[in-house]
């Protein structure tokens, strides 16, 4: 039986595609074999645009829609279950029409421009303009989360919370980053996760300043920062959370750095209201973080002016966040008609759009001591007057702090979905 939420979701997409007459094809994609030519594949994830319109994964599946046929124009083609799949994987019959019928569907629409989403579908010659328009429409429809999506996200958050609840007792000198990852991920799965939503990040000491650090066998040392960025996935919906701890007693400097990030995050979350421009929320957080660094004596000057000079990017070299839900970046990107802001500190923002009711956004400010940036002679020369380089050099291996929560934007005010995960440093 097709899930009850699908008709409304497809209706919203059909309305967003109008008045285009182009038939729409959305491919799930095929499993990708490992390069060595064995019978193994990379873990399969159907394209998010397929999952959104089909209500689940199905390798080789195709969703097709003909706008001339209204609500009856939605079709779902799936590959028949083979004997080998039944024998090796215990595959069950799939709901949908046999994929063999897709060619006839396509041929019946010969001569019309086809809009293609998802993974490429063999035999489909996509019209680039119609496909681009459909992709934008689909992103706009995906951004506000429906009740079913929010329920799956709640389950992902629940599992994530169970994992983070284990950390305070585990973070002690001697435990390795890898051991922390294993315990965290096991707890996610015991609490209902299918898997993690992205590669778990655990960085101790200087590794806490590596934005996407892959946990190593490094043992946590007394007084280390330990940064953990991880989230559970449930039926393709993910949470994305970061907490930073100290193993043992935090120094005053560590406390101040953590407090600066925490305060900037609290203020940024309050700004997550419908209509707020994400770029402005990002810039306001950059100013708050910079004010924190000025307060600590690391930077000199007016925070607004320092951000204009892009000094903040030495310590906060990433965007404030992104949409999260169906995948860790969900349908982030640019609002209709926008191009990337070319300013060095803004061109890597994962999105540039106004927030709206129902969006779920990560709010993840951070302050890091990254030797690759802070030891760069050109940057040191450019910012020689505004940075207290002596103080920076004294803390070059301290790592960094990031705090990240998932926030539901609502007309009544932001709701922090991950508020149950304590932010305490020690
Ligand atoms: N949680 C990792 C990231 O957002 O890049
Ligand atoms: Mn994130």
Question: Which of 163, 164, 214, 229 to probe ligand 1 with, by most ligand atoms within 8 A of CB?
Answer: 229
The domain boundary residue, chosen from 142, 171, 194:
142
CATH of the domain at 289: 3.90.230.10
For 7, the enclosing helix (H) or strand (E) is: helix 6-17
Domain co-membership, 176 together with 211? yes
DSSP 34: P
Under a CB-based contact definition with an 8 Å cutoff, are residues 59 and 29 in contact?
Answer: yes
C-alpha torsion sign, points 342, 345, 349, 352: negative
251: CA distance to ligand 2 center in Å? 27
22: CA distance to ligand 1 center in Å? 36
Asked if residue 191 belongs to a domain, the reply is: yes
The domain boundary residue, chosen from 92, 121, 142:
142
Least confident residue range of 119-123, 250-254, 342-346, 393-397:
342-346
Question: Which of 319, 328, 368 to probe ligand 1 with, by most ligand atoms within 8 A of CB?
Answer: 328
How many Å from the N-terminal Cα to the C-terminal Cα in the chain? 49
Cβ neighbourhood burial of 225 (10 Å; 0-12, 13-18, 19+): buried
- CA dist., res. 134 & res. 6, Å (int): 18
At 158 the pLDDT is 98
Residues with CB under 6 A from ligand 1: 198, 229, 240, 328
Domain co-membership, 109 together with 168? no
13: CA distance to ligand 2 center in Å? 27
The domain boundary residue, chosen from 142, 166, 187:
142
- What atom of ligand 1 comes closest to residue 231's alpha carbon? 1
% the chain with pLDDT above 90: 97
Asked if residue 1 belongs to a domain, the reply is: no
CATH of the domain at 20: 3.40.350.10
- CA dist., res. 216 & res. 373, Å (int): 22
The strand pairing partners of 26, in sequence order, are 63, 117
Domain co-membership, 306 together with 186? yes
Task: Provide the number of structural domains found in the chain.
Answer: 2
The single residue listed with the structure tokens 């860790």 is 328
Question: Which of 404, 418, 421 to probe ligand 1 with, by most ligand atoms within 8 A of CB?
Answer: 404
Asked if residue 370 belongs to a domain, the reply is: yes
Domain co-membership, 311 together with 401? yes
Asked if residue 424 belongs to a domain, the reply is: no
Domain co-membership, 136 together with 153? no
Under a CB-based contact definition with an 8 Å cutoff, are residues 269 and 407 in contact?
Answer: yes
Domain co-membership, 338 together with 253? yes
Asked if residue 277 belongs to a domain, the reply is: yes
The single residue listed with the structure tokens 């810039």 is 283
Under a CB-based contact definition with an 8 Å cutoff, are residues 247 and 234 in contact?
Answer: no
Domain co-membership, 289 together with 405? yes
pLDDT tens digit string along 369-379? 999 999 999 99
257: CA distance to ligand 1 center in Å? 20
pLDDT tens digit string along 139-187? 999 999 999 999 999 999 999 999 999 999 999 999 999 999 999 999 9
pLDDT tens digit string along 67-77? 999 999 999 99
360: CA distance to ligand 1 center in Å? 14
Domain co-membership, 251 together with 210? yes
For residue 60, give Cα distances in angstroms to 46, 78, 109, 176, 352.
9, 7, 21, 41, 33
Domain co-membership, 363 together with 329? yes
pLDDT tens digit string along 220-261? 999 999 999 999 999 999 999 999 999 999 999 999 999 999
Domain co-membership, 166 together with 124? no
Asked if residue 423 belongs to a domain, the reply is: no
Written as one string, the DSSP assignment of 260-291 is HHHHHHHHHHHT--TT-BHHHHHHHHHHHHHH
Domain co-membership, 85 together with 180? no
pLDDT tens digit string along 264-312? 999 999 999 999 999 999 999 999 999 999 999 999 999 999 999 999 9
Domain co-membership, 137 together with 222? no
At 289 the pLDDT is 98
Domain encompassing residue 192: 147-416
Asked if residue 421 belongs to a domain, the reply is: no
Q: Full-prediction pTM beyond 0.95?
A: yes
Asked if residue 375 belongs to a domain, the reply is: yes
For 75, the enclosing helix (H) or strand (E) is: strand 74-78
């Amino acid at each position: 039986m097709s899930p009850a939420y699908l008709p409304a979701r497809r209706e919203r997409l059909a309305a967003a595609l109008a008045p285009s007459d182009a038939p729409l094809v959305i491919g799930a994609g095929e499993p990708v074999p490992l390069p060595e030519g064995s019978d193994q594949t990379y873990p399969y994830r159907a394209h998010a645009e397929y999952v959104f319109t089909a209500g689940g994964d199905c390798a080789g599946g195709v969703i097709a829609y003909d706008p001339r046929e209204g609500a009856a124009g939605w079709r779902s083609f799936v590959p028949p279950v083979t004997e080998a799949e039944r024998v090796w994987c215990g595959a069950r019959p799939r709901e949908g029409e046999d994929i063999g019928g897709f060619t006839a569907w396509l041929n019946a629409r010969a001569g019309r421009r086809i809009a293609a989403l998802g993974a490429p579908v063999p035999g489909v010659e996509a019209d680039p303009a119609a496909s681009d328009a459909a992709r934008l429409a689909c992103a706009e429809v995906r951004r506000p989360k429906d009740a079913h999506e929010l329920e799956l996200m709640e389950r992902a958050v629940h599992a994530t919370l169970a994992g983070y609840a284990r950390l305070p007792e585990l973070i002690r000198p001697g435990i390795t980053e890898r051991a922390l990852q294993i315990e965290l991920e096991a707890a996610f799965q015991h609490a209902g996760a299918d898997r993690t939503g992205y590669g778990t990040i655990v960085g101790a000491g200087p590794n806490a300043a590596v934005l996407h650090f892959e946990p190593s066998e490094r043992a946590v040392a007394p007084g280390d920062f330990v940064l953990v960025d991880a989230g559970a996935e449930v039926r393709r919906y993910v949470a994305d959370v970061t907490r930073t701890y100290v193993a043992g007693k935090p120094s005053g400097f560590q406390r101040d750095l953590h407090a600066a990030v925490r305060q900037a995050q609290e203020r940024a979350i309050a700004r997550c209201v419908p209509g707020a421009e994400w770029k402005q929320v990002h810039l306001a957080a950059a100013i708050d973080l910079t004010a924190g660094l000025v307060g600590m004596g690391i930077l000199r000057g007016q925070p607004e002016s320092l951000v204009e000079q892009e000094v903040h990017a030495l310590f906060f070299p990433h965007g404030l966040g992104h949409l999260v839900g169906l995948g860790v970046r969900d349908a982030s990107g640019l609002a209709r008609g926008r191009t990337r802001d070319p300013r060095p500190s803004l061109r890597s923002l994962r999105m540039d759009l106004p927030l709206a009711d129902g969006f779920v956004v990560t709010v993840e400010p951070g302050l890091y001591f990254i030797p690759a940036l802070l030891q760069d002679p050109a940057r040191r020369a450019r910012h020689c007057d505004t940075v207290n380089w002596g103080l920076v050099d004294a803390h070059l291996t301290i790592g960094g702090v990031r705090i990240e929560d998932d926030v539901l934007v609502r007309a009544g005010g932001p709701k922090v979905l991950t508020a149950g995960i304590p932010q305490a440093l020690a």
